[in-house]
Structure 1
């Protein structure tokens, strides 16, 4: 816990970054993921069938996990910033996906 008192001038959370760089970390992560998925798709086409099936399964898992990772990133961001309504919606989305996966 921070030693900051309410009126000490220190902030509990850093100021939000405004402008084009506020989602820089997320953008870099997603760009790398897209490149990885693209490379895996090309390699899947070049491999013989047994290996291609395994790599294809990995590709499907990545295509499902990447958007969920983005939701998790936003949930932690909204929670740290104190916007619990948006965080609750993100958690609800994750719960719906999890329940759907269990029922499938």
Structure 2
């Protein structure tokens, strides 16, 4: 029986628009790939604006305990990537954690 996600952990960060493609590739290799190995699912979103791009990474977990095994005892604490300070306009101070109430249809992705 496959595990069912009950928790969504959401991280947000903004970069200057001219560095968005570079950050997207870096974030995927260094940040998203490790999540893919541990979480039940991962989505990486990007919104381009005139001068900046916002990235949102959503990871799905079967429980707070499972998420804590990956993120540490305080799953809201940010674990910055080595080059985040170089790329991000400001370093996020926390993530959001939501209980997943309903999920319907195809959410896309690979």
TM-score, normalised to structure 1, is 0.30
Greater RCO structure (CA 8 Å; 6+ sep): 2
Q: Which has the higher helix share?
A: 1
Greater Rg, structure 1 or structure 2? 1
TM-score, normalised to structure 2, is 0.29
Q: Which has the higher strand share?
A: 2
